[in-house]
Structures are given as structure tokens and as C-alpha cells.
Structure 1
Amino acid sequence: MIQPSHSLVKYDNPVLVSRTDGGIGGKSSLKGGDRGGGMLDGSKKLPPVGKKQLPPVDDKGRPKTPSQTEDILNSILPPREWDETGQLWVQKVSSTPATRLDVINLQEQLDHMLQKRQARETGIDPVRRELYSQCFDELIRQVTISCQERGLLLLRVRDEIRMSIAAYQTLYESSVAFGMRKALQAEQGKSDMENRIKELEEEKRQLEQSVLELKAKCEAIEKRESERRAMEERKHAEEIAFLKKTNVQLKTQLEGILSPQKK
């Protein structure tokens, strides 16, 4: 498991819970640095001398035990775990009450992290969303320590916001997928339409070629029929002229035969 990164949520010092190199398992504080939110200097922080804080109480005036608060905090913000050089480390969220200075520091850390990670001020930005989510978790932690009921109510608000964002994200992804699917269908339909246009153009070209061939045949037939009709008319005229000539000759012969008889 990868070591967790820095978070705006305040955590306690990491604790070694097990070894995988054959050593004896146990709990020990990690020294030498911050493991993502806890302030580690190699020694435990002692409470100020002469100041004692009263334990928190419930709605009936009974004091709340620290274990109840820690259990609720662990249920709201689960402990972080990571494996480092064969050792399993666990880091629980801090149950130390927050002061006004802690809230001011949280605001300064938020502004610093937004500037450091170059989060955008407008639009959809996962970096800005992550940092504000961590800030909200830290505020829930601070409120839960002083009033568990208010912290649980804020937890419901946080979960509802996350569920709404997840629903919007799912809707966005589905709309993008729908748009891509429609775009692919339109592209495929465009390709099919282009192929159909090519087929129709080829069919049109073939039909135009057929029309030209039929026109040529019609012209040839008309020319042949015209020649045949002219030939028929010429032949018919020759026959008529021959018949007229024969008729004249026969008429002349008939008049020559009839004229001596009249004398």
C-alpha cells in the first residue's frame, strides 16, 4: 500500500501495528517526520500546565468518554493504512479539540494548497474539489469532537453531497457516451449515405448510357424507315407512271382498232 499524501485532515502520529520481516509485532510511534497531517517531533505533546479542560457531555449532562468520540471519528474518517519496508503503519484521525487558531491555520493551509497545486478558481476542477473535501472532513472532525450529533448530521450532509456529485458524474458520463454513440451512428450513417449516393450516381450513369444507346437505335430505325419509305414511294411512283403509260398505250391501241370500224 502506498504511503498516504499530505491531507488537510489532522491525524495522530502513525502507529506500527505489524512487521512482515519476522520481527515481533507491536505498536510504536513513528519518529522523524509528518505522515500526512500529524505533527511529529519525536515526543508527545504535553497539555499546558494549570489548564484543565472539562470532558464533553451528552444531551443529558453525562460526560462523553473519549472512546466513544474516537469510535465515531473512526467511523466518519477511517484510519489510514500503508505498508513501508515490510511494516504496516496505521494512522488514526486526531481526537484533539480544535481551537480558533486551528481553524485559521486550516484556512491558510487550504489557500496554500490551492495555490501550490494550481487549482482552477472556476469550472470543474478535481484538485479544488479534493482539497475542499478534505477541508470539509476536517471541519466535521472538529465539530464531532465538541458535539457528536452535529458531526453525524454534517456527515449526512457530506454523504448526500458526494452522492449528488456521483449522480451528476454518472449522468455526465452517460450523456457523453450517448453523444459519442450518436456521433458514431451519424458517422456510420454518413458513410452509408455516401455509398448509396455513389451507387445512385453509377446507376444514373448507366441509365444515361442506356438512354443514349436507345436514342441512337431510334435514330437508326427512323433513318432506315425513312429510306425504306422513300424507296417505297419512289417504287410506287414508278409503278403508277408505268401503269399510266401502259394505260395510254392501251387507249391508243383501242382507238386505232375502233377507228376503221367507224369508217
Structure 2
Amino acid sequence: MADEETNLVGTSFSLVRYNNPVLIDKKAAPFGTPSQVTTRPKSAGQLPNDATLSDGSDTPKPKTETDEILDAILPPREWDEDGQLWRQSVSATPATRLDVINLQEQLDQKLQQRQARETGICQVRRELYAQCFDELIRQCTINCTERGLLLLRVRDELRMTLHAYQTLYESSIAFGIRKALQAEQGKTDMESTIARLEEEKANLEKEVSDLKRGCEMIEKRAAEQRIADEKNHGEEINFLKRTNQQLKAQLEGIISQKK
């Protein structure tokens, strides 16, 4: 009986104690009648890596209320091997103080073997502690069903909370990536807008420069035209003055001759 719940080291090692795996034989039954399922324990030499040893008894024990509750809390494991279906239920044997100490040692050993992180997010550490918690729930359920069911509620609440945080984290990551992509796209659009505005600015500055040169040329031509007009006007005034003087002199000569 001491070997009944001794876990073997394998790829699917679990800190939860399991009974000896049994073979589920599905025999054909006539039409309209349910199929018969017979079980027989697996021999110790045929145990897989994730199985546990047992006392080798061939007689299946009737399930008690505790067994049914344990199966509801921790469902049996099933796997196919060589076309045969094997099932392994959790053990209903009460745990001793030594079992708890061994559980702690196995937990520390597995944490070290699988190189679990001591801090931060670590899937390996989370898995091992979840198995340890399930084993504690199994032990408490055997001694006190109500305590085990209450711990089950605590476990489910913790898992639900953790799942909610995980969903929130994944949503925040997706939101952050989406915002980063939008920002990158906005940055590209902004750079294009800046380049277009700078080109428009350069064109406008060139147009302003051309207009300034044109204005300067017009002012220069206007100044030259003004100077030329003033010169012509002055010459015309001088010509008219000379003409006026000549006519005045002629008029005075004519008047003097008449006298």
C-alpha cells in the first residue's frame, strides 16, 4: 500500500497522487443494449512514465462518496496506448505528515529541475504550484469534504481572476500594438504632409521672390520714366520760355515802330 500513490518521474509528471491506471475494455454489445466496460489494473512493468504504482489488486474497488467527489474535483486522466484506453483516478488515501513533507520536497526539486523562475511570470512555476494546490485540495477533501469543496471554490476563483487578468493583458497588448501601428501610419502621413507643405512653401517663396524682382523692375522703369518725363518737361518749359521771350521782344519792337 505504500507504493500505491508513488508518482513516477515522466514527461507528464504530476504532484497530485493518482491510483494505479486501469484498462477500459469496451466490448461489443447487441443492438439496443449498452456496451459493457470492464477494467483491469495495469501491471507495474507496463506503467507509463506518467503513471503510479499500485498494490496489483485485480478487483476494482466500489466507489465511495469521497471517490465521486474527488473525481468531480480532479477528473481522471485518460490516454490511449497501443489501441487501448487507460484511465487513472486520483487517490483517496489520506495523506500523512510525511506525505506533506515529501510533497514540499518534490515541489522544490521540480522547480529546480525545470529551472522555474523565482520572480516574474513563469509558466513552469505556475503549473507546479497549481499541481501542488490540487494535491492539497485532494488531501483536505479526504479528511473533510466541505473544506475540500471550499478550497475548490478558492482555486476556481483564483483561476478565473488569473484568466481575467490574462485576457486583460492580451487585450492591452493588442490595443497597444494597434495604437502603435496607427501612430506609425499617422507618422508616415504626417511626414508626407510635412514634405508637401515644405514643397508648397518653397514654391510660394519662389513666387514671392519673382514678384519682388518684378516689382523692383517696375519701380526702376517707373523712376527712369519719371526722370525722362521731368527732363522732357523741363526742356519744353525752357523752349516755351524762350519762345515767349522772343515773341515778347518782337511784340515790343512792333509797338515801338508804330509810335
Check whether TM > 0.5. Answer: yes
Query: 1:116, CA displacement in angstroms?
Result: 0.5
Aligned counterparts, 1:97-112, within 5 A: 97-112=94-109
2:40 counterpart residue number:
28
1:138 counterpart residue number:
135
State the secondary structure of the residue aligned to 1:118.
coil
2:124 counterpart residue number:
127
Deviations 1:46-103 (A, max 9, x none): xxxxxxxxxxxxxxxxxxx951111000000001111222221111111111111111
1:17 counterpart residue number:
24
2:6 counterpart residue number:
none
Is the aligned partner of 1:68 residue 2:65?
A: yes
Distance 2:63 2:138 in 1: 14
Query: 1:181, CA displacement in angstroms?
Result: 2.1
Deviations 1:86-125 (A, max 9, x none): 2211111111111111111111110000000101111111
Superposed CA RMSD = 2.3
Give the counterpart of 2:175 among 169, 173, 178: 178
1:4–1:82 contact (8 Å) kept in structure 2? no
1:4–1:80 contact (8 Å) kept in structure 2? no
Could you state the TM-score of these two structures normalised by the residue count of structure 2? 0.84
5+ residue gaps, structure 1: 46-64
1:14–1:30 contact (8 Å) kept in structure 2? yes
Is the aligned partner of 1:255 residue 2:259?
A: no
Query: 1:26, CA displacement in angstroms?
Result: 4.2
1:55 counterpart residue number:
none
Query: 1:190, CA displacement in angstroms?
Result: 1.6
Is the aligned partner of 1:208 residue 2:205?
A: yes
Distance 2:205 2:115 in 1: 68
Deviations 1:158-181 (A, max 9, x none): 111111111111121222222222
2:5 counterpart residue number:
none
2:94–2:143 contact (8 Å) kept in structure 1? yes
1:62 counterpart residue number:
none
Query: 1:25, CA displacement in angstroms?
Result: 7.2
For 2:17, the aligned partner's letter is: K
Distance 1:213 1:11 in 2: 93
For 2:147, the aligned partner's letter is: R
5+ residue gaps, structure 2: 1-9, 28-35
Distance 1:86 1:206 in 2: 81
Is the aligned partner of 1:80 residue 2:77?
A: yes
Identity of aligned residues (%): 64
Q: Which contiguous aligned blocks of 4+ residues in structure 1 show a shift greater than 3 angstroms?
A: 42-45
Distance 1:227 1:72 in 2: 114
Query: 1:28, CA displacement in angstroms?
Result: 2.6
Distance 2:124 2:37 in 1: 38
Distance 1:25 1:170 in 2: 41
Deviations 1:210-242 (A, max 9, x none): 101101110111122122212211211121111
Query: 1:29, CA displacement in angstroms?
Result: 2.1
Could you state the TM-score of these two structures normalised by the residue count of structure 1? 0.83
For 2:24, the aligned partner's letter is: V
Query: 1:34, CA displacement in angstroms?
Result: 5.0
State the secondary structure of the residue aligned to 1:131.
helix
2:21–2:51 contact (8 Å) kept in structure 1? no
Distance 1:35 1:244 in 2: 135
